[in-house]
Each structure stands twice: as C-alpha cells, then as structure tokens.
Amino acid sequence: MPYRILVTGGAGFIGSAVIRHLIESTSCEVANVDKLTYAGNLESLTPATDSERYHFYKVDICNAVALSSVFDEFKPDAVMHLAAESHVDRSIDGPAEFIETNIVGTYCLLEATRRYWYGLPKTDKDAFRFHHISTDEVYGDLEGAVELFTETTPYAPSSPYSASKASSDHLVRAWQRTYGLPVLITNCSNNYGPYHFPEKLIPHVILNALSGKPLPVYGDGSQIRDWLYVEDHARALLAVLSKGKVGETYNIGGHNEKRNLEVVETICELLDKLVPLTAEGDRGQTHTYKNLITFVADRPGHDRRYAIDASKIQRELGWAPQETFESGIRKTVQWYLDNPDWWQRVLSGEYQLGRLGGQL
C-alpha cells in the first residue's frame, strides 16, 4: 500500500470520498491537488482536514510548473488522478473546458509524473503507481438489455465529455507503452451518495423536491444507468491502487441497473415517508412528490443504457459493492435531509466565498 498519495480533484465528489476514506481508514499521507472550479468544495473534506496527514495545494493540473513543485515537495508514492470536468450537459454547451482539463490537464500531469518518476531510486520507482480514474461513458451505450461493458469493450464516446475522457484514457495507456510509466485505469458507472454536487440527477431531484420545484426527467425517463454508491467506489479504488496489476483496466460497477424515471420515483417514495407533504389544497389529488415529475426534451446524443461487468475486479481483487441501490439511496436521501447547511451553502454560492489557496 503506497504511503504518500497525491490525489487530483480531491475537492470534487468522488475525490473527496476517496480522501475521506484514505484519512479515516488508512495511515496514508494525502495531498489534495485541486483548482477549485465551481464543483470543487473544500467543505466536503471537513472530516479529513483536521488530520495532520492531509495537505492541500490549490493548483491547476494544466500548470506544469506548479505541478512539478507539488511533486518535489510532497514526494508521492502514487498518484490518483480524478481531476476532470464531468457534467455532460455542460460539455455540450461549452466543450472547451473539457478539452483543456480532461485532455491537456491529463497530459500535463502525466509529464510531471514521468519526470518525477524517472528521478526516483529503483526500489521507489518499481513501487510507484499512476492510477487514472475514468468513466464507463467512454464505451458509448449498449443495445438491448443483456450486454455489459467489459474492460475490452471498444470505445465509442457520444458526448464531448465522454470523448475527452476517452482521450485521457488513451494518453495514460500511451505513457505506459512508450515510457514505461506504471499505470492503472478504472472505469466506473454512475456514482451517487453524500456530498454530490446538486447539478447531478439524484441530488438535483432531492433538493428540487424539498423545495416543491419540478423534477425534470429527460425524454421518457427510460435511460438505464448502473448506480454505484460513492463510498463503495472509494473502497474499490483503494483496492486497485493496492493490489491491481500494472497496465490493467478494471471496471467498477454497482450491479444496480435502474431507469432514470425509476430512480426519480424511488426518491419521491422515500421523501413521502421521511418528509411527507401536508394535505392542504389540491383536493382529490394524492399528496406525493411524484406529482412534481416533469418530462422535458431529451439531451442531444443521450446514451440509452450503461451497464458494467465488474466481475474482473471481484475475481482478481476481491472487491464487491457493499450497498444495494435500495440501501444506498436511502442513506443518500437521509444525508441530504440531515445536512442542509452543506447543500444550502452550495446552492447560494457561499461555499465559494473566502477560498484560501493551499501551500502553493
């Protein structure tokens, strides 16, 4: 198990879950390298920031000079690369930032890592790992209801986001093949859980419902996704970093295929039980959050179905998700009910105020 781990994008949704897990469950030193874009929220790291083993660097991964300084100062044994622009709708409206962060940023990080890695003593060099965290969206979508994404599924990205992530995957593999950099790649299904930025489907639905706002569903809501609880994902990533074979790809899925409409309806049913609507007004209408569901025009190029075959990581590394969708979504809804201060500060923009830089 590497002792000093550099995590890029550690203030994001998955990155913060990884750092919380590393601080709470291991003895590792952790460096969080994050530019702090709109989706980067240091308040998601509150459980970890009091630890002497946590270090923060406000650095853009496209800044080669600053990156090299972080490597020289922190001297990591491994890199976990999670920094990315990741919202499909935003990539359709403005793809330039996705090209810059996901492709150019990955290139800059690979080069900074390579220069650092070349200078290590042989023992440290052999033990070093570069773990690139990617998405199942690079595979495009699936026909029918049976086929699954495997580690050898051909790439067929559909959006500027998934195309930029596919590009970054190819760069990582090229740096291993050309320069010998010891890399690991993981491709995950849709994550959900605590601290999820409210623009994504599940937190957006929860918070809109609590505010009595419409719950928008693309098209007819029949798109299918495989849902992975973010803390299960963090455990999987640590298993890959610790035990994965250099050069290998591991798919990480939750074994929870659900239609988007089914996800929204499940959230409504949970909220009906946990925070039931009052019976005032709307005579003759059943009082349920499902009444807020609104179907909207579908997203351009919207993939119909994603589903991960996660048998390789279970077979070779012994990982399997601990949460079912039912247990994970209940925990998620309850977390948002219990932590209004966090999401209210996100919705108001207050979380972005007073951001202080890290050591660089």
Q: Write down the pLDDT at residue 360.
A: 52
Question: Which pLDDT score, from 0 to 100, does residue 284 have?
Answer: 46
User: Catalytic residue positions?
Assistant: 136-137, 161
Q: Please provide residue 250's backbone torsions phi and psi, each rounded to the nearest 5 degrees.
A: -130, 125
- The CA-atom distances, in angstroms, between 245 and each of 3, 140, 185, 250, 253 are 18, 26, 10, 10, 19
Average pLDDT of the segment spanning 144-171 = 94
Scanning the structure block, which residue is given the tokens 């550690």? 10
pLDDT at 1: 65
Secondary structure element (H or E) that encloses residue 258, with its range: strand 257-259
Pairing of strands 257-259, 224-229: antiparallel
- How many of the other CB atoms lie within 10 Å of CB of 31? 26
Q: Residue 354: what pLDDT?
A: 52
Q: What is the pLDDT of residues 280-324, one digit of tens each?
A: 544 445 689 999 999 998 878 777 899 999 999 999 999 999 999
What share of the chain in percent tops pLDDT 70? 95
**Digit-coded pLDDT (tens) for 204-243:** 999 999 999 999 999 999 999 999 999 999 999 999 999 9
Instruction: Tell me which CATH homologous superfamily contains domain 4-196+227-257+307-324.
Output: NAD(P)-binding Rossmann-like Domain (3.40.50.720)
What ranges do the domains of the chain cover? 4-196+227-257+307-324
